[in-house]
Structure 1
Amino acid sequence: MSSTTAGPHILAYPYPDSGHIIPLLDLIHRLLARGLTVTVLINPDNLPLLHPLLSIHPSSIQPLVLSAPEVHDPPRKTRVAKVRAMSELYYPILLQWFRSHPSPPVAIISDYFLGWTHHLACELGVRRLVFSPSGAFGFSVLSSVWRDLPKPIDPNDMGSPISFPKIPHSPDFPWRQISRHYRNGKEGDPDWELFRSDMLDDIASWGIVFNSFAELERVYLQHLRAELGHDRVWAVGPLLPPEDSLIGLAKRGGSSSLPCHEVMTWLGARHDNSVVYVCFGSRTSLTRKQMDVLVDALEHSRVQFILCVGVGRGRHVGDDVGAIPEGFEDRVEGRGLVIKGWAPQVAILRHRAVGAFLTHCGWNSVLEGLDAGVVMLTWPMGADQFTNAKLLVEQLGVGIRAGEDMENIPESTELSRLLAESVNATRPERVRVKKLSDAALGAIKGGSSDKDLDELVKRLAAR
């Protein structure tokens, strides 16, 4: 659906990280096509990510460019320091901006890390929508943690189970897989209290928009509507560009060591479903042990593969960082392709030659894998990735468990076997993921996600 009539004006505020910005921009693209006017709060460094939308919808979208606040906290506190600094700097600026605007937004849609915008919206008398770049299952677990404050029987036992009986399927996780921000703090600690208040503010906000779709997480969407006591929970995903989109598949993040066309040419010479794509996201650096196991398994599996080695801004930086061993690329030449930096992941996964995806199970990667209909080998590293891996393997049956962080690093021979089996045409996971891929496409082609988005626009237009 598209419209030339000016619809409601909203302010979109992504958390300043590409994994959070990109899916929100994909949502904005769909809102603009439905006639909305959008102002996007963005930092100068991330402004290039907005350029494709500015070229497609020049009269309907406007950037609000604000310099990022300076943050000097240690890396493990980067997120809480960023959130606190943004709140302190932007709150008064946004108050003034709204009050002086000739046609101010009727709503704020902001990332779920930015719970403080709920109070801003309340002060301004507008609605605040939470945008969750994670799924409804992950959000259910995280909100339950911060609301109910579960504790292990033995806090020194990192394997002690934490159960969630109120959530469908009564999932449980070892204590080590619960949010480290929750585990490592305590009530009264300013950082811990900020994380909790952000989560509680998300729950209290007017509505929540998920980058998900009904066929994927129906039971958890229904659970959240019951828990929140209202129906303002929308699943509008998967938020990905169509293959012929002007937004483009090659430039959705950072720079790469290989141009997209070279990667596509390499894939074009491979048989259907024969290649394993390996990527652990843009924020995770593998440790030496993890990397050694991975490259040894890739070398001895004999499968064709693309290995993306990210920029590694994650928790292992400056600590115990693995590297591609000397001579590895020569030994796998013709069978393996190594990309250093950002990879055109959506384009790679959608290529007919790719049959499996070894992933850290970040939600964007999960959706991109499901959209492409590839079998997923799961190796979660932190955050909601453990929840996402459980969804893929235990509930949907489209994933194969390969490892878990540092606690369950597979033997290289076992990982080699799993890599080889993942491209087997007879695996049952392949049949199931193809069905989910079809459901994902149907959801955004007039199905549940389109209907949810139309309903959201209708509610925003109702003053």
Structure 2
Amino acid sequence: MTIPGAGTHILVFPYPAQGHMLPLLDLTHQLVLRGLTITILVTPKNLSILNPFLSTHPSSIKTLILPFPSHPSVPSGVENVKDLPNNSLSAMVSALRQLHDPLLHWFRSHPSPPSAIISDFFLGWTHHLACQLSIPRIVFSPSSAAFVSLINCLWRETPQRGDPDYNDPDFPISFPKVPGSPIYPWRQLSFVYRSYVRGDPEWELIRDDYLANIASWGIAFNSFSELEHNYLDHLKKDLGHDRIWAVGPLLPPDDDPTAPTERGGSNSISVHDIMSWLDKREKKSVVYVCFGSQAVLANEQMEALADGLEHSGVHFIWCVKEATVGHVAGKYGVVPSGFEDRVAGRGLVIRGWAPQVSILRQRAVGSFLTHCGWNSVLEGIVAGVPLLAWPMTADQFADARLLDEVGVGVKVCEGPETVPNSAVLAKAMTESVSVKGSKRDRALELQKAALGVIKEGGSSFKDLDRFVKDLIRTEIKFGDKEVIA
């Protein structure tokens, strides 16, 4: 699959969060298969996440390990978002921005420096670095094109909570230029955006990062045309160019036995025991419950969810994230006393990281209760299961809306502090694993489409090839004009 003329050297710079790093590393895997040479920038404590990729491609992937910069709001020794509370994005981004000068020095002293930078959506400042180096910067978006369409509008126009009317959390914000002209209440907009303080130096830099994404040379999405063609077409018109590549769904390959199971961390139950338990369940009978690597439920939410699972009568796997930094001890992530005994044999509770891709691929799983993080959405689609949506923050409300648009999602709750109705949850979970249903049929149709686009001749396969050819063939001079080689 190597393209003639390859060997082009690219710098890949992930944002240190599980949901951002893993899909960008999966993209990196595909770029190496197409003949590119990659240097991945990481800080020391994130290096272990790269180990499977480095062992698979020892000659094509190198690492640039830079010390994690100190920041007053990031505890010493913390280098990954998973160890921080949800509201720490500005601190993490500000800390990483300090890598500008060391990275610039590395580029200028390298005997054969990269000819382009591919960096995460949260690292917009790398666009300015790329301009200094007269090379292109490509945004990697781990979020949907639907969400990026919304966020581009917000950061250009910057309505604020302090402005008239925006003090009401339910005040409607309309997006007439976005496909479908969606309207969202203020509280459902990105938490990062709602936290923006006009005139605050740190937040003005955050805004500049998003505007730098818009100004960057191109953007690669972990998505596919058959799912988001309306939004991808909109962005091409909105940004004024066609350097938009839908290269997803980016998932570990089926023939790599380590990739699905060694991507996250430790948990309370071995992967072997989880898969053995699933092997004993009937096809499409199990509800999988997981809210990603960041969300931690308050105990009242835990109790309502447990009650819903108990009274639904379904088999289930529930992945529980326990309290971390910033959570009051004993108030979050506690499984109700006696619950596991009462559902013994019918359900598994996993504390810690879950091998989600492997679980969803297992034949016994019939539905997925999710926070609608984009990776989880794509993994559910590829698994061909209906999704029970509980969006909480970030891009999740846009993702839940998209799931409804394409006919595979049912919203069962919303908001990070809402306590769900346990009876509603129980009914939705029972119906989600029923033998018949339009959501199940539509999920299987979308699964077929998702698996088709990554095969040779599929839309994402073609976009990956186009992306690589663009990187190889295009020479950029930033300024008043663009020179195409």
- Judge same fold: TM > 0.5, yes or no: yes
Once the 2 structures are TM-superposed, how far is the Cα of residue 245 of structure 1 from its aligned partner? 1.9
Q: Which runs of 5+ in 2 are unaligned?
A: 75-84, 476-485
Query: Aligned match of 1:404 in 393, 408, 414?
Result: 414
Of 92, 115, 123, the match for 1:106: 115
Q: Aligned residue for 2:481?
A: none
**Equivalent residue for 2:13?**
13
- Whether contact under 8 Å (1:284, 1:314) holds in the other structure is no
CA contact (8 A) 2:247 2:460 kept: yes
Corresponding residue for residue 68 of structure 2: 68
- Higher mean alpha-carbon deviation, 118-127 vs 280-289, is at 280-289
Which residue is 2:447 aligned to?
437
For residue 125 of structure 1, what is the aligned residue in structure 2? 134
Moved more, 322-331 or 100-109: 322-331
Q: Once superposed, which parts of structure 1, at least 4 consecutive aligned residues long, lie more than 4 Å away?
A: 3-6, 74-77, 311-320
Match of 1:455 in 2: 466
Using the alignment, how far apart are the partners of 1:193 and 1:453 within structure 2?
A: 34
Structure 1 residues 57-101: Cα deviation after superposition (integer angstroms, max 9, x where no partner): 11100011112122332756522122122212x111111111111
Equivalence for 1:361: 372
In the alignment, what sits opposite 2:244? Answer: 233
Aligned to 1:416, which of 416, 426, 451? Answer: 426
In the alignment, residue 354 of structure 1 is paired with which amino acid? V
After superposition, give the CA deviation of every residue in 1:167-190 in whole Å (9 maximum; x if it has no partner): 000111111111233323332112
Query: Does the 8 A contact of 1:151 with 1:162 survive in 2?
Result: no
1:181 to 173, 179, 192: 192
Partner residue of 2:55? 55
Structure 2: distance between partners of 1:296 and 1:381: 20
Separation (CA, whole Å) in 2 of partners of 1:350 and 1:76: 29
- Partner Cα separation in structure 2 for residue 231 and residue 442 of structure 1: 23
Q: Secondary structure at the match of 2:349?
A: strand
Give how far 1:123 is off. 0.1
Say whether residues 1:115 and 2:149 are aligned partners. no
- Matched position secondary structure for 2:64: strand
SS at match of 1:377: strand
Q: Distance in 2 between matches of 1:328 and 1:151?
A: 44
Alpha-carbon shift at residue 289 of structure 1 (Å): 1.7
1:285 aligns with 2:291: no
1:160 equivalent in structure 2: 171
Kept in 1, the 8 Å contact 2:323–2:329? The answer is no
Q: Give the drift of 1:430.
A: 0.8
Against the structure 1 CA distance between its residues 383 and 318, is the aligned structure 2 distance closer, same or farther, given a 3 Å change threshold? farther
Residue 62 of structure 2: SS of its match in structure 1?
A: strand
Match of 1:33 in 2: 33
Shift of 1:151: 5.2
Residue equivalent to 2:315: 304
1:120–1:80 distance in 2 versus 1, CA, 3 Å: same
Q: Which residue of 2 aligns with 1:135?
A: 144
2-11 vs 232-241, greater mean Cα deviation: 2-11
Contact 2:225 2:460 in 1 (8 A): yes
| In structure 1, distance between residues paired with 2:326 and 2:223 | 27
CA distance, structure 1, for counterparts of residue 323 and residue 36 of structure 2: 37
**Alpha-carbon distance, 1:314 to partner:** 7.9
Query: Percent of pairs identical after alignment?
Result: 56
Q: What letter matches 1:304 in structure 2? A: H
1:343-358 alignment, distance < 5 Å: 343-358=354-369
Which is worse superposed, 421-430 or 400-409?
Answer: 400-409
* Deviations 1:95-131, CA, capped at 9 Å, x for gaps: 1111111111010000010000000000001110000
Q: Distance in 1 between matches of 2:86 and 2:278?
A: 38
Q: Aligned in 2, Cα 1:411/1:311: closer, same or farther, shift over 3 Å?
A: closer
Give the AA of the match of 2:66: L
Match of 2:94 in 1: 84
Give yes or no for contact 2:322–2:333 (8 Å, CA) kept in 1.
no
1:195 positional shift = 2.0
The answer to whether the Cα contact below 8 Å between 1:378 and 1:389 also exists between their aligned partners in 2 is yes
Q: Contact (CA 8 Å) 1:181, 1:195: kept in 2 or not?
A: no
> Take 2:431 and 2:19, find their aligned partners in 1: how far apart are those partners?
30
Per-residue CA shift, 1:26-60, capped at 9, x if unaligned?
00000000000000001211111111111111110
* 1:348-377 alpha-carbon deviations (Å, 9 max, x no partner): 001000000000000010000001001100
Instruction: Give the partner amino acid of 2:440.
Output: R
Q: Deviation per CA, 1:212-266: give whole Å up to 9, x if none.
A: 0000100000000000000000000000012212552111111111111111100
Query: Which residue identity is paired with 1:30?
Result: Q
8 Å Cα contact 1:357/1:369 also seen in 2: yes
8 Å contact kept, 1:283–1:311: no
Q: Give the superposition deviation at 1:409.
A: 3.5
Amino acid at match of 1:361: C
- Equivalent residue number for residue 436 of structure 2: 426
Counterpart position of 1:342: 353
**Partners of 1:93 and 1:151 in 2: CA distance:** 35
Amino acid at match of 1:136: A
TM-aligned CA deviation for residue 309 of structure 1: 0.5
- Which has the larger displacement, 376-385 or 76-85? 76-85
Q: Distance in 2 between matches of 1:314 and 1:211?
A: 30
1:143-154 aligned within 5 A: 143-150=152-159, 154=165
**Aligned mates of 1:247, 1:146 — CA distance in 2:** 40
CA contact (8 A) 2:321 2:333 kept: no
How many residues were matched structurally? 461
Partners of 1:32 and 1:313 lie apart in 2 by 36
The aligned counterpart of 2:23 is 23
Which secondary structure does the structure 1 equivalent of 2:348 belong to? strand
CA distance, structure 2, for counterparts of residue 181 and residue 128 of structure 1: 23
Query: Contact 1:285–1:315 (CA<8 Å) still a contact in 2?
Result: no
**Higher deviation after alignment, 67-76 or 218-227:** 67-76
Q: How far 1:397 moved relative to its partner?
A: 1.1
What SS does structure 1 have at the residue aligned with 2:410? strand
Unaligned segments of structure 1, at least 5 residues:
none
Give the 3 Å change call, closer, same or farther, for CA 209–398 of structure 1 in structure 2. Answer: same
Segment drifting more, 267-276 vs 57-66: 57-66
| 58 and 423 in structure 1: CA distance in 2 versus 1, 3 angstrom threshold | same
